[in-house]
Amino acid sequence: MRPSGNGAEQLSVLILAGGQSRRMGQDKALLPWQGDTLLGRTCRLALTCCPTVLVVTPWPQRYRSQLPQAVCFITESHPPGTPPPGPLMGFLRGLPQVSTEWVLLLACDLPRLSEALLQQWASQLDQVSPQMLAWVPRTEQGWEPLCGFYRRGCLQSLQQFAAGGGRSFQRWLDQEAVQPLTLPHAAVLWNCNTPQDWATIGGQDFC
Ligand SMILES: Nc1nc2c(ncn2[C@@H]2O[C@H](COP(=O)(O)OP(=O)(O)OP(=O)(O)O)[C@@H](O)[C@H]2O)c(=O)[nH]1
Ligand SMILES: [Mg+2]
């Protein structure tokens, strides 16, 4: 069920699925999770918040058949033999395609994120001060940019930052007006980077 407030009308979701999964040793987006893949589950969660869900990736054909038809792709390309440009550049690739006031940026590997939490956040977007460019979780480690809400209007600032060679979300967000998003507990953003991480949650229920 989508939220009945205006959260859905003012929100799109961009999901990044263009990393190399070097530490995992296999494509994280395709890891099986709760009868789906990690990317598939993330897309389905996102579709409960709003109808516009866009996956930014160099490999749309790799994922198309597993994802709901409502999901659209933004194809990213980088020169053969070069590594992916990183999440900030993935965001910059996708953001110009967004036509809603807000965009929720998500990594593909957040197995503990819940539908209820995403919907709750989406329904609270009206409460974010108009001066704030983004609403992003902040922990002791810093910003958690890959589960954060951004105003579409941050595009110009992001373009300038990237044009100056910036690739760090932490540095970009530190220089912007960003409202910290309070998490119920840090574990909701637990992400898996290695086979050991993956084994930690294998077969367990984290609802
Ligand atoms: N579109 C896009 N997504 C990216 C890029 N780099 C990383 N991501 C995504 O950003 C999210 C977090 O990245 P990481 O956890 O470092 O994943 P990764 O880069 O695949 O993994 P490692 O190679 O082990 O660093 C994941 O959803 C990745 O797919 C990129 O260049 N383009
Ligand atoms: Mg990486």
The best mutation among 15, 16, 42, 57 to test binding of ligand 1, ranked by most ligand atoms within 8 Å of the C-beta, falls on 16
ipTM of the complex: 0.98
Q: Is residue 1 part of a domain?
A: no
Asked if residue 87 belongs to a domain, the reply is: yes
Asked, for residue 114, whether it belongs to a domain, the answer is yes
Q: What is the pLDDT of residue 96?
A: 98
Task: Specify whether the CB–CB gap between 183 and 112 falls below 8 A.
Answer: no
Would the pLDDT of 205 be above 70?
no
Does residue 118 belong to any structural domain of this protein? yes
pLDDT in tens, 54-94: 999 999 999 999 999 999 999 999 888 899 999 999 999 99
Q: Give the CA distances from residue 41 to residues 19, 67, 173, 187, 202, in Å, rounded to whole numbers and listed in that order.
A: 17, 9, 27, 17, 15
d(C-alpha 169, C-alpha 183), whole Å = 19
| pLDDT reading at 174 higher than 70 | yes
User: 167 CA to middle of ligand 1, Å?
Assistant: 13
Question: Is the CB–ligand 1 distance for residue 85 below 6 Å?
Answer: yes
Supply the range of the domain harboring residue 144.
11-201
State whether the beta carbon of 87 lies less than 6 angstroms from ligand 1: yes
pLDDT at position 4, please? 45
Full-model pTM: 0.95
Centre of ligand 1 to C-alpha 129, Å, is: 30
pLDDT for the residue 5: 54
Strand 32-33 and strand 36-37: the pairing is antiparallel
81 is known to lie in a ligand binding site: no
Query: pLDDT per residue over 121-138, tens digit each?
Result: 999 999 999 999 999 999
- For ligand 1, atom 14, which residue shows the shortest CA distance? 19
Q: Residue 129: helix, strand or coil by DSSP?
A: coil
Predicted pLDDT at 79: 86
For residue 207, being part of any structural domain is answered with: no
Question: Helix, strand, or coil here: 78?
Answer: coil
Apex 186 CA angle, 21 and 110, nearest 5: 30
Domain assignment present for residue 5? The answer is no
Say how many Å lie between the CA of residue 87 and the centre of ligand 2. Answer: 8
**What pLDDT score does 76 carry?**
96
Total number of domains constituting the chain? 1
Inside any domain, residue 58: yes
What residues have CB less than 8 Å from 150, skipping those under 6 apart? Answer: 91, 95, 102, 103, 104, 105, 133, 134, 135, 136
Q: What is the CATH number of the domain that holds 103?
A: 3.90.550.10
Residue 204 pLDDT greater than 90, yes or no: no
So what's the pLDDT on residue 3? Answer: 47
Residue 3 lies in a domain: no
Q: What is the pLDDT of residue 44?
A: 97
pLDDT of residue 207: 31
pLDDT in tens, 93-126: 999 999 999 999 999 999 999 999 999 999 999 9
Q: What percent of the chain has pLDDT over 70?
A: 94
3-17 pLDDT, tens digit per residue, is 445 467 899 999 999
